[in-house]
Amino acid sequence: MGKFKRRLGAVLYYSIAKHLPVSYSSVRIGQTALRRFCGRLMLESCGKKVNIEKNAVFSAKVSLGSRSGIGINARINGRCVIGDDVMMGTDCVIITRNHRHDRTDIPMMDQGFEEERPVFVGNDVWLGDRVIILPGVHIGDGCIIGAGSVVTRDIPPYSVAAGIPAKVIKDRKNAEEC
């Protein structure tokens, strides 16, 4: 039954719900409820009051915490655990595996993929627009990741991080600039 539910959710989501207006649109046709329903069917786990936005593409291996969202045009590949109360801006990308490139005697496109490394996003996190998170990264509770940042390594709890690559620029607990 589980496989059937996931497939049904995917068919509903990718054929209809994905294309409906954004959640904050003045056009209210049940888009948020339908995308939430699809998420409950498709995702590994799905909390209460989640918000999956228009045009998001995501793996069935995503776990989405309560009151969290997947942003407009987001792309989440592979296993990703998103905590509770997470805000995600437009065009965020979460990547869980890369192409292999360790050999130089054969083209990279013929080397396959590295092993998947899940991404973990803590509770009460804000990912700004166009944030990119690379494989294996852990973002701690209470973090803010600035718009356009590329997160290549773990970010400690209650940090503000920004840039390419993202660096901690502020500690929210101590209100100190880093």
Q: Is-catalytic flag, 19?
A: no
Contact by Cβ (8 Å): 135, 95: yes
Contact by Cβ (8 Å): 13, 36: no
**How many Å apart are CA 135 and CA 146, to the nearest integer?**
18
Sign of the Cα pseudo-torsion (13, 15, 17, 21, in order)? positive
- Spot the catalytic one: 19, 99, 101, 138: 99
**How many Å apart are CA 57 and CA 171, to the nearest integer?**
32
Amino acid at 102: D
Please list the active-site residues: 99
